[in-house]
Amino acid sequence: MRYETIGKSLFIRNREKLKAQLKPNSVVIVCSNDIMPTNADGTMPFRQNSNLLYLSGIDQEASILLIAPDFPDQHMQEILFVTETNEHIAVWEGHKYTPAEATETSGIQNVMWSHKFEQTFNTILAETEHIYLYQNEHIRNATEVETRTDRFNTWCHTQYPNYSYERLAPIIYSLRTVKEEREIELMQTACSITEKGFRKAMNIVKPGIYEFELEADILGEFVRNRSKGFAYTPIIAGGGNACVLHYTENKDELKDGDLILMDIGAEYANYASDLTRTIPVNGRYTRRQRVIYESVLKVKNLATDMLRPGNDIPTYHKEVGELMTAELIHLGLLDKTDVKNQDPKWPAYKKYFMHGTSHHIGLDVHDVASIYTKFKEGMVFTVEPGIYIPAEGIGIRLEDDIVITKEGTRNLMRNIPIEIEEIEEIMNT
């Protein structure tokens, strides 16, 4: 893999946490993702199933993980199935895991070739009562594509209808929500790579260049630092484009006097980072841009302080909304009458700040967790308030990735410039 070795101890620990949550005489099956097609014989870059990565570190297609903690034969309690390679595959696709390499990566001693799965699975089920299967239960999941996991689940229910089936998602989502220190280290690396890309962009931004030129330079910096690239489709939005929340065309020329909003993040070892900065195209904020920016930064800093154990996203977002309301009144965008007459289901501040402030982040950018889960130490959140004024062609969003710790919070993006004076100094040096 492009990234440096993670170490098998993380994955051994993750599997032990999972086993502690299972019913007696259970088996867990986790499948890799498909290699997705484009057109003709084209394919998209492979992206592994996050749960398989979390439990094994195996970053290869057509892999299956089986965990059966109570099976009588200890050697059969953890089995990893990988593709049996040959000279043809080696020439056309490159190196695949050997059993020894798969064991070194995952800590799983029993590695079999994939064609042995069905026979082995049948043997395991002879001593099993409960089958744990994964289904994508992310609150925002809206895919119409049938995945390898979906196909396996259908096959399993058809072949073995008399077993008790259990949902893996609630368990593994809960586990993935609280990060191990090694995971936070990997996320810190992703954030540090993102910093390099942002600083590169700051050095080349000027009137007359195009949004896609910034995208290209940022991507190059990411790849030079062992990242596969962007953790999500980047937003490079100059002027009024910043008021389109999911603007991804990145096609326009940057204008003197405008701001440019960059929502970018590198991945590293499949862990995501998620940064937003809004900087002046010509290197100097106007007075109006400055006061709006300071309001967004104030809300971001106060919201970060609210990331404390025991809080939850609905309560937190309501509290942040009250902070933003006060700032919008201060800026003259709202008045007290607007607030008094607001619809509680869509408060007045939503006219200028219509998205949420924070989401979990980890192996997925919008990482798995119930929005009602109470905040705990070890959780990692984005903090990303914004103010969008289409009539003025101004959209300002600021975003960092924050770990909840015993002492308070730790900002994984603390070294990335965010204060107006520092940004202007860098851009004019």
Catalytic residues: 41, 246, 263, 274, 355, 359, 366, 384, 388, 397, 399
- Residues 32/43, Cβ–Cβ less than 8 Å: no
Whether the CB-CB separation of 259 and 289 falls below 8 Å is answered with yes
Distance from the Cα of residue 325 to its chain's centroid? 29
Q: What whole-number distance in Å separates Cα of residue 407 and Cα of residue 426?
A: 32
Strand arrangement, sheet containing 380-383: 380-383, 400-404, 409-411
| Rounded CA separation 248/212 (Å) | 10
Question: How far, in Å, CA of 198 to CA of 264, rounded?
Answer: 8
Look up tokens 């408060």; give the residue.
Answer: 347
Identify the helix (H) or strand (E) that includes residue 287.
helix 287-305
* C-beta atoms surrounding 96 within 10 Å: 18
Q: Residue 311 has which token pair?
A: 């809080």
Residue 312 in tokens:
């939850």
What DSSP line would sit under 93-107, residue for residue? T-----HHHHHHHH-
Burial of 156 (0-12, 13-18, 19+ CB in 10 A): middle
The bridge status of strand 386-389 relative to strand 409-411 is: unpaired
